[in-house]
Chains A and B, each alone.
Chain A
C-alpha cells in the first residue's frame, strides 16, 4: 500500500475519555486494555495542529556480557514509553479538551459547566427518545444546530444537538437521550457556552464524588462515575492509511505563548500509553468527520487567538476585597504561561510489563510564566512606580493577574479566552542596557495556591486547595469535558 505523506494534508484530534464509559474506565495495562479504552474521534475533536513529534519510545537493552568479543551480539526490548509533544495554534474553539486534560476540573453541575450564554430556558413536557417538547413553544426553525443542556430530574447532565425543527413546541435531537426528559425537566438551549477550568489535585482516574462532593448523581450521573483526564491523540499522517492513534494520553505540561505581531500558540507534552497504527476504532474513512464544529450547521467559523485580541493584561496586589480594574492595565509585548503537572512517566511494574504505570504526580505542580514590557520608564499600573516589579519581587508581594483575549461575536456574545492568575509572585526582573536599543523589562513569575477568593475572579469551585490558575473559554463547545456528554462522533 502507499499514499501521500504530506504534512500539509495532515490533521490531528484529541478526545478525552474512555469508550468503556465513565463507570468502567480504567487506565490500560496492555494492548487489549488500550483497545477497549480507545474512543472514536469525531466532529468535536479536531485540534489546530502545527507540528507533532511523539516517539513510540521503544527502549532496547543491548547485551554487553563479556564473552570474548568486543562486539555486541544482541538486544531485547525492555520498555515502551511513548512521549513527545505537539504544537498547536490557539483557536477559540478546539482546545477545551487539552485545557481540561492539563488542569483537571470543570464544575460538573449542569448549568454551571459550561454556562449557556444568551440561552433560552426550556421546560419539558414528556419528551421522546429523540425529541424535546416544550409546551411554551420556544422553538424557531433557526434553532437547528443549537444544543440543549438538561438541568434537573432524571435527565440531568445530558447535552444533545437539535437536528430538526418539528414545530414551535418540539425539536428533534441527536443522538437519542440516555434518559428521556420527563415532564417538567428544565433545560437550556444555546449556541455559546462559557467554560471555567481549574487545577485538580490528582490527575489519575478517580471517582467524581471524591474530587467534587457536589457531583450530581440524580440525573444520568452516578456515584461511580470517574473523572478521566486522559484521552486519545490521533494524527492522520498519510491519507491512504489509518490514522496513528496514541491511546491513554496524559497531558504532562502545556505552555501558552503569545507575542506582539503574532498569534497565540500552545505547546503540549503528552504521555501516551501506546500507539496503534491499525486501530479498529478510528478508521481511515472517518477522517472526514474530524472537525471542531460539533456537527452543528450553526457553527460560526473558528478564529485564531491573535495578539491584538488582548483586551487587557492586569496586575496588582492580591486582594479579596478590591478587584483588578483598568487602572491596573499593563502594556505587555509578550507573555508565556507554563503549566507543568510533573507526572511520573517512566515507572514500570510487573503488571504493566513493557508499558508505563498510570502517570501520577511526582512533585508539586509548577505554574510559571513570564511577560515583557517594551518600555522601561513608565509607572507600572496604578503603582505610581516605574520599578514596581523590582519592589514587588524584593518585598515578596503576592499579586493577582488577568489576561483576557477576545474575538468576534459568535451569534450574541463575543468569544474569548480568559486567564486568571489569582496568586503569583515575581521571581525575576531584568531590564538590561543591551546596546543602543530601547530598554525592555522582562519579568518572570510563579503562581501560588491562593489563600482566599480573589476579588473579581471566577469563584473557586475547588477550595482545598484553590487553583493557581483558572482558564475560561467562551466558545461554541457545549460539552462539559469531564462528563460523558459528547455522544456524537
Chain B
C-alpha cells in the first residue's frame, strides 16, 4: 500500500500537527522473480510466464506445437491476483493483491546467472491476515502448491542472433553477449482516485479506478558484448552497431533458450533500431561494447516469425514450449 494522507495544516493556534487523515489507498509495488521453464505438477503450473503474459497482454495457444505465443495487446485489459504466504500463521488468510496490472517489466540475464524478471505492479486492493474480509486464497491453498523447483532458464541456455533484416536469422548472425535486458513500459495511468461511478462499477473512492494506457508503449533492449574488436555477426565490421545507428538501419533479433529437456523460451524482436553504442576505453581493462536499442512495430522487411511461421505486429514476441498444456491467459 502506498497511502496518501492529508495533514491538518490549518492554523489553529498551536505549532503542533493536530491530525492526519487517509485520502487515498493505492496499492503499488514491485516484484522480482527467477524464471524457470514452466512445469506442470499435480495439476498446478510452476513458472513466471503468467506475469509476462499479463505484462504483454495477449496470448495464443498453438495446439499443434504445444507452445504459447505471447504478444502485445493494444488495449491492456488483463490483470491477476497475487497471493503470498509470509508464514505468520499455519492457517487462515494470506497476503493478497487483487486485480493486479503490470505497468512495466524488466527481463534479462547475464553471465553466471539465470533469467530474472522484475515487474512494477499496481493492484486494486491489498489484503492481509487480520484485515476485515477474508481473502480468496488461504494458507492451505499455497502450502499445497508443488515445492520441487522447475529448471531455471540460464544465461548459457540462450543463443542470440541479430541481422539487418537481410534474411532469416541464421548461425552466421549469432553474436556472443555477456548480458542482455529488455524493458517493457506500458505507461499505464498511475493510481487515480474518483468518486463512486455506476458506469465504471467503481464503488470505493479510496481505491483506484481501473488503470489504462496513458501513453505510448515503450520497449527497449540492451546487450553487452564482452569484446570490442570482433566482427558483428556476418557484417565484416567491428563497428557495425555504430554504422547501423548512423545509417538508421532496421534490425531484427531473437534470443532462443533451450532447456536440458528440450524446453524452449524464445524472445523475438522483429524491428530494432540502435539508439546508443558505448565502447569507451575506461582504463586498462578490456574494452567492451554496450548497445541499446528501441524496439518498434514490425515492419514489412522483417523476416522473423513464430515457430509455426506466423507473425505479429508488436515490438516484442515471446514463444514458450514447456510444461504448459494450454493458453497462459486462459
Contact = CB atoms under 8 A, between A and B. Distances in A.
* A, B co-complexed: yes
Interface string B220-243: 000000011111000011110010
B167 interface: no
B286 A73 contact: no
A430 interface: no
A7 B285 contact: yes
B231 A58 contact: no
Interface residues of A, number: 39
A201 B227 CA distance: 44
B229 A71 contact: no
A5 B281 CA distance: 9
B313 interface: yes
Interface in B154-176: none
Given A58-B245, A69-B313, A71-B297, A238 B229 contact: yes
Interface residues of B, number: 41
Contact of A10 (B230, B238, B281): B281
A65 B275 CA distance: 19
A72 B296 contact: yes
A75 B273 contact: yes
A77 B294 contact: no
A73 B270 CA distance: 12
B242 A277 contact: yes
A72 B216 CA distance: 7
Interface string A38-69: 00000000000111111110101010100001
Contacts of B273: 60, 75
A460 interface: no
B227 A51 contact: no
A60 to B, nearest CB: 6
A73 B250 CA distance: 11
B217 interface: yes
B283 A70 contact: no
Nearest to B57: A70
A286 to B, nearest CB: 18
Contact of B286 (A7, A71, A75, A277): A7
A6 B286 contact: yes
Given A7-B286, A74-B296, A238 B281 contact: no
A451 interface: no
A2 interface: yes
Given A1-B236, A60-B273, A237 B282 contact: no
A240 interface: yes
B246 A75 contact: no
A8 interface: yes
B278 interface: yes
Interface string B306-330: 0000000111000000000000000
Identify the interface centre among B213, B217, B287: most chain A CB within 10 Å of its CB: B287
A73 B300 CA distance: 11
B215 to A, nearest CB: 8
Of B238, B242, B279, B294, most buried by chain A (CB within 10 Å of CB) is B238
A5 B284 contact: no
A363 B282 CA distance: 31
Contacts of B92: none
B281 A49 contact: yes
A3 B231 CA distance: 9
A56 B237 CA distance: 18
A320 interface: no
B265 to A, nearest CB: 23
Given A1-B236, A51-B283, A60 B218 contact: no
Contact of B230 (A2, A49, A51): A2
Of listed A69, A72, A76, A238, residue having the most chain B CB within 10 A:
A72
A267 to B, nearest CB: 14
A277 B284 CA distance: 21
Interface in A1-40: 1-8, 10, 12
Nearest to A278: B239
Given A2-B230, A53-B280, A237-B228, A62 B297 contact: no
Interface in B50-100: 72, 74
B216 A238 contact: no
B236 A235 contact: no
A56 B277 contact: yes
Contact of A241 (B213, B238, B296, B299): B238
A71 B72 contact: yes
A240 B246 contact: no
Given A70-B74, A71-B314, A77-B248, A1 B231 contact: yes
Contact of B248 (A12, A51, A75): A75
Nearest to B285: A7
A64 B218 CA distance: 11
User: Of residues A12, A54, A58, A235, which shows the largest number of chain B Cβ atoms within 10 Å of its Cβ?
Assistant: A58
Interface in B203-217: 213, 216-217
Contacts of B189: none
Nearest to B227: A5
B236 to A, nearest CB: 7
A222 B280 CA distance: 41
B143 interface: no
Nearest to B277: A56
Given A72-B216, A74-B296, A6 B287 contact: yes
Nearest to A50: B283
A1 B72 CA distance: 39
6 contacts: A3-B238, A51-B282, A58-B245, A69-B313, A84-B280, A240-B229
The 8 closest A-B CB pairs, nearest first, are: A5-B229, A5-B228, A5-B287, A8-B284, A53-B280, A10-B281, A70-B217, A73-B297
Interface of A: 1-8, 10, 12, 49-56, 58, 60, 62, 64, 69-77, 80, 84, 235, 237-238, 240-241, 277
Given A7-B284, A58-B245, A241-B238, 10 more contacts: A1-B231, A2-B238, A6-B286, A7-B281, A60-B248, A70-B72, A75-B248, A80-B246, A237-B229, A238-B238
